[in-house]
Amino acid sequence: MKTYDFKPSTLEIEIKTLDKDKRSTKIFPQAHRTTFFELIFIEFGQANFKIDFQNITLKAGEIFVILPNQVCEFDFSESYSGKMILFTYNFFAISENDASFLYSSEFLSLANPHRTIKTDVKTIKQIFSLLENKLGLNKDIYQPTVCQSLLRTLLLQCERNLNETSKPFATSIAKEFFYLVEQNFSSNRNIDFYIQQMGVSENRLAKEVKQACNLTLKTYINNRLLLEAKRLLQYSELSAKEIAFNLGFDDTANFSNWLKKLSQKTPLQFRG
């Protein structure tokens, strides 16, 4: 499995057209990861994806985001058309508030990352059109800020559409925990580490995470680590020993025992 970085560019945002003629190109390898966000909007038909071992169907008028480092597979059997925006964290996170939005947003949630949103199609198409137009102009000092503002407007519209149809699933404390786990799960599985980083009591943190995803703190951390282990075992050519060390285990035996306890499978069985 290959991990794709954003191609070298002074402006780390790009719009691609999805249609019958272009979707079979090398834009979408069968299984891949990216270090950037992929925001997909379907205008006609429906598109099928497999994201981190879950099947996702995106219908006309719906929008969906693939987060950095998720394992993505695209099914080209259906007929569909639409647009896709690729953008990096660095492009969007100009200010501290922008960076905070990327992990506090319900739409971009790391803890609930498979949401499709029924959008206001007219509004979304207008924003896409404006953004595409600005990206097509000659570069000047205003272009990055204008494009980032349009992308922010698009993401906020998605957030609004989501909140109109469902209640917020997590508090700011729970979201901060999810974000910290994403940054540290392979180096630190100790609950005390996250409590100290956040400056909250274990009881309060445990209660708010439980309300958000019905998991204990330890289970949430283990589940995130397990997902990464499954990604690497099924889609990479790394040895079990290399994967164990990448995920913070002292040796392969400890990793195998941990994996067996959580999944009832050995590394070899995952690869079989």
CATH of domain 172-271: 1.10.10.60
Where do the domains of the chain lie?
2-165, 172-271
DSSP letter at 219?
H
The per-residue pLDDT for range 157-209, each reduced to its tens digit, is 999 888 887 777 778 899 899 989 999 999 999 999 999 999 999 999 999 99
Show the CA angle centred on residue 167, arms to residues 166 and 170, nearest 5°: 125
Predicted pLDDT at 32: 86
Spatial distance between the Cα atoms of 216 and 208, rounded to a whole number of angstroms? 10
Q: How far is CA 26 from CA 21, 29, 30, 214, 226, in A?
A: 12, 6, 9, 39, 30
* 4 in Cβ contact with 35 (< 8 Å): yes
* Class at the top of the CATH hierarchy for domain 2-165: mainly beta
Determine the average pLDDT of the residues in 255-260.
Answer: 96
SS3 56: strand
Helix and strand counts by DSSP (H, E) for the chain = 11, 9
Q: Pick from 171, 181, 51: which is nearest to 116 by CA?
A: 51
The per-residue pLDDT for range 47-90, each reduced to its tens digit, is 888 899 899 999 999 999 999 999 998 877 778 889 999 999 99
The per-residue pLDDT for range 204-242, each reduced to its tens digit, is 999 999 998 899 999 999 999 999 999 999 988 899 999
